[in-house]
Structure 1
Amino acid sequence: MKLTKTFKAFFESEKSGGLLLLFVTIVSLLLANSSIQTEYIAFWAAKLGTHSLTEWINDGLMTIFFLLIGLELEREMYQGELSSIKNAALPIFGAFGGMIIPAGIFLVLNFGTITQNGAGIPMATDIAFAIGILSLLGNRVPTSLKVFLTALAVIDDLGAIMVIAIFYTESIAYLNLFIALAIMGGLFILNRRKVHNLIPYLIGGVAMWYFMLNSGIHATITGVLLAFVIPFGNGGKKTSSYKLQHFLHNPVAFFILPLFAIANTGIAIGSEWYEGLNHPNTIGIILGLVIGKPLGIWLFSFIAVSLGICTLPRDLKWSGILGAGMLGGIGFTMSIFITLLAFKNDGQEVITYSKIAILIASFIAGTIGFIWLKFNLRPARKKATK
């Protein structure tokens, strides 16, 4: 299986971005528990107008991240692994299992409690971190495993976006929502009239974001909606979609996601931080990500292949699927993002303990996944020299 240049560029940026995420997270945790703890945490809580600096990052800059996710998903649907039912079936089933089983484990422990809204937290996979860990294995990783994990994580993010839109919307201001959708309709007309200049789409996107922000539906949804009205054409280098996707790769990987990580992992860890880990909420998050993710991804993939819906690539074994499932348990960015939405009315303590659980679970999942794949994937054979 050959990798397209677009996929290679995406994989490389996500690989480097994942390693950077790890670095800034460690730095943020150290600063939040240093002698400048108060000043550091207060900095991110400082108000800029009606919102804090962290809220501007989460509601504003993360919309650009979702725009990139939307563009990547669109490309996968038109030209990549999701362009045919046969190729798409395996990661789709895997992603579906990787959302259903973790959410189910969480709900078994939390249904009927004030924390049941957190069911979406262990459903998420952090693309950058997962690919970053996978890249550390070098030439051991078969091409099909890279494609499977990437496609699975993109579908996973789409699932997370749907969860945000459906379950974490409390009330809707229908006039603002109607205006946002009307703007999207106008941009779609521009698309159909073959207007390829990005400027009107970006200006319209900002207007869409403003009205979506004030509609009650989370503003980051705008990013995905905007992606699907930007002209895709034949997907070539001269198309609007390709240009924007290519332009956004580095800013998202090396600025927006690290900034999100820094702003949201400034966690002051007290001497009794472990007391919050015996709550059904934190137990559900850890079990959902560490056990539910690999179990769901492997099981649903196995069922799909057993039913003849799809086939397992020749260079990929079931141990590789299980390893990818373990790396899928690295929730981090998306899990923290959903935590902020799920528990925004439940107090900072619940959010803090949930973040700690996410960090612990992501560390365990990444470590186990790396070790498992290292011992189960054989290094690529070097070509014999003449």
Structure 2
Amino acid sequence: MILRAFLRTEAGSTSVLLIATVLALLWANSPWGHTYEAFWHTHMGISFGDALFTLDLRHWVNDGLMTVFFFLIGLEASYEVRLGQLRDRRLIAVPAVAALGGMLVPAGIYLLLNFGGPGAGGWGVPIATDTAFVLGVLAVVGARCPDPLRAFLLTLAIVDDVLAIMIIALFYTASLSVPALLIAAVLLAAVLTLRWLKIWRAPAYIVLGFALWVATLQSGIHPTLVGIALGILVFVYVPTDHKLLLAGEAVQEFTSEPSAQAARVAARRVQRAVSVNERLQLRLQPWSSYVIVPVFALANAGVRLDGETLRAALTSPIAIGVALGLLAGKFIGISLGTWIPLRFGWGTLPGNLVWGQLLGGAAVSGIGFTVALFIVDLAFEDPALHDQAKIGILAGSLLAAVLGWVIFRLAWDRGGVCAPPEAEPAEELPETLSVPVGPGDHVRGAADARVTIVEYGDFECPYCGRLHPILEELRKKNQDVRVVFRHFPLRTIHPRAAAAAIVSEAAADQGRFWEMHDILYDNQRFLTDADLEHYAAELDVAPWSDVPGHNSRIAVDESSGQDSGVRGTPTLFLNGVRYQGSLNLDSISKAVADLRESP
């Protein structure tokens, strides 16, 4: 849910961000262009008696509002590490190395052109990817591209953002104030203490967070580091059965006797069942996407595009270095960073992504905007260098978007990537099982049962998970019914399904397939390698003992499923004939009863 909501918000906000960028450029190049810089240099402050804390408007945006943006990055990173894709080391390895390559190569290209010159300090400008623009471009050029590609790029962007913030903290801190740094450390310790004591009063965190932000700003370290640190510290957890039970009871009570009091109790209990991390993401993401980041673009994207400025940019190693870093550096770095871990078996991709999709994703990842503009403000003091770097960002990002669009179109025209569903020819699927049940099948029930239910299933498929107890109840109530399970992992949708199938086959080698089958369906949300190894240890099974052999066994089931017209899971065959009814107990029971009564 969090991933889908995040993708929708970022893609939808791209148009707002683009409008803000265009407005900034129009403002800076209008007859009133001189008011652009004058307005953003207007000072605004807060006074406490004789003490005065003041910043200009641009710094309030860059150092203040953008802290919320980085706070959300911390929240998302924390969620993904604990419950999401970053929890699975096999899935994080490829995008993490790709993100690293997508930072090192652009920085290297930039330094090749600027080392030892006045722009050498801007090597951090082309290293970051702008998630909002990337997902927005994907929505335009590849609206039907698979979710695994978006998931891959989102994971890459999270790693990219975290590394970029570390670079800002380490390389773009001009000077340090030790007293302010000590105060910041004490305030951070206070936040950690509240967390340890499980005190969740929002006002306490707001006051401490603001004080920590001020202390960090005064210390010389960029205060956005506070945002990501606090975001990572926010608790994230899977709802407990107890909280879900309380929420369910409250909703049921409201349904039976609606009242304002019952509605308030139900809303509160449902809300408390979800972690603070997820609630904050839901509340703050629209503000960040539709207000904070566009205001940041309005405050920073304005650059004078007159003849003199453009001529200077065309020969400026800063502008050329930034543009080439974003266009070529990101493409080469991410492509190599994807190929290397796949070549050496360090990890897997989320779904059956092909190189056409990955290369298109690597190209559009060269759209660097938000963090790139952010680093420009830290790297250069000379306004002329500012403008050259910004022109490089705009040119490189635009060219990267065009390159990505071209790659996606070429792949689309060849039918290899993002082909629209309506382009697929209609297919008449067979109605009968192509391969009868035999000795190699996983069978649960009597061999002479009158009704045989063959299920093509996927251990990560939620619909298969719901069907599992229905089939088990049906089998227990009817002694003349047996259930056969055949593997059909949907690799493009469920990245952990194949690994779960392999572990089940390892258990089958020791005659414990159905025990592992039940464990996997009871723990569908927890199928990382570490989880699978834990389940295997419970049954004293070596999970990866014969991966090639188990893959071959799974491929046999997949082949029979394809020949039988299986295109999704769960697909059932009753006595060799495809079942077309609803996947509930009553409907399947009726179909079984009809078969038992037939001659």
- Shorter-chain TM-score range: over 0.9
Change in Cα spacing, 1:312 to 1:54, as seen in structure 2 (3 Å) is same
Higher mean C-alpha deviation, range 33-42 or range 349-358: 33-42
Alignment of 1:268-287 (within 5 A): 268-274=304-310, 275-287=312-324
Which of the numbers 195, 198, 204 marks the counterpart of 2:208?
Answer: 204
Q: Pairwise mapping of residues 1-386 of structure 1 onto structure 2 (< 5 A)?
A: 5-49=1-45, 50-234=54-238, 238-274=274-310, 275-344=312-381, 347-376=382-411, 377-382=417-422
Per-residue deviation, residues 295-342 of structure 1 (Å, max 9, x unmatched): 000101101000010124443111211111111111111111001101
Q: Which structure shows the bigger proportion of residues in strand conformation?
A: 2
Q: RMSD across aligned C-alpha pairs, in angstroms?
A: 1.8
Following superposition, the deviation at residue 101 of structure 1 comes to 0.6
Tell me which moved more, 307-316 or 217-226: 307-316
SS at match of 2:75: helix
Q: Which moved more, 1:363-372 or 1:311-320?
A: 311-320
Query: 1:119, 1:39 → 2: CA distance?
Result: 30
Measure the CA separation in 1 of the matches of 2:205 and 2:60: 21
CA contact (8 A) 1:196 1:240 kept: no
User: How much does 1:237 deviate?
Assistant: 5.6
1:219 Cα shift? Answer: 1.0
Identity within the alignment, %? 38
The structure whose residues are more often helix, as a share, is 1
Distance 1:138 1:199 in 2: 43
CA-CA distance at 1:77 after TM superposition: 0.6
- Quick one: higher RCO (CA 8 Å, sep 6+), 1 or 2? 1
TM-score w.r.t. the length of structure 1 is 0.94
**Distance (whole Å) between structure 1 residues aligned to residue 273 and residue 33 of structure 2:** 47
User: Structure 1 stretch 57-66 or stretch 241-250: which is displaced more?
Assistant: 241-250
DSSP 3-state at the match of 2:86? coil
State the Cα distance separating 1:120 from its structure 2 match.
0.6
Q: Following TM superposition, by how much is the alpha carbon of 1:139 offset from its aligned partner in structure 2, in angstroms?
A: 4.1
Q: Which runs of 5+ in 1 are unaligned?
A: none
CA distance 1:225–1:157, shift in 2 (3 Å): same
SS of match in other structure, 1:140? coil
4+ residue stretches of structure 1 with deviation over 4 A?
Answer: 382-386
1:319/1:237 Cα in 2 relative to 1: closer, same or farther (>3 Å)?
A: farther
- Per-residue displacement from partner, 1:26-72 (whole Å, max 9, x unpaired)? 12211221122222332222222432111110010000100011101
Structure 2 contact 152–350 (Cα < 8 Å) conserved = no
Flag the 1:195–1:233 CA change in 2: closer, same or farther, 3 A. farther
State the Cα distance separating 1:111 from its structure 2 match: 1.4
Offset of 1:182 from its aligned partner? Answer: 1.7
Cα drift, residue 175 of structure 1: 1.7
What is the number of residues matched between the two proteins?
A: 380
* One-letter amino acid matched to 1:145: L
Paired residue secondary structure (1:321): helix
Task: Answer yes or no: is the 8 Å Cα contact 2:142–2:408 preserved in 1.
Answer: no
Q: How far, CA to CA, are the matches of 1:19 and 1:385 in structure 2?
A: 38
Q: Does structure 2 conserve the Cα–Cα contact (< 8 Å) formed by 1:196 and 1:239?
A: no
* 365-374 or 191-200, larger mean C-alpha shift: 191-200
Q: What's the offset of the Cα at 1:257?
A: 0.2
Letter in 2 for 1:375: L
In the alignment, structure 2 segments of 5+ residues that lack a partner are 46-53, 240-271, 412-416, 429-599
Secondary structure of 1:51's counterpart equals strand
Work out which of the two has the higher radius of gyration on C-alpha atoms and give 1 or 2: 2
Amino acid at match of 2:392: A
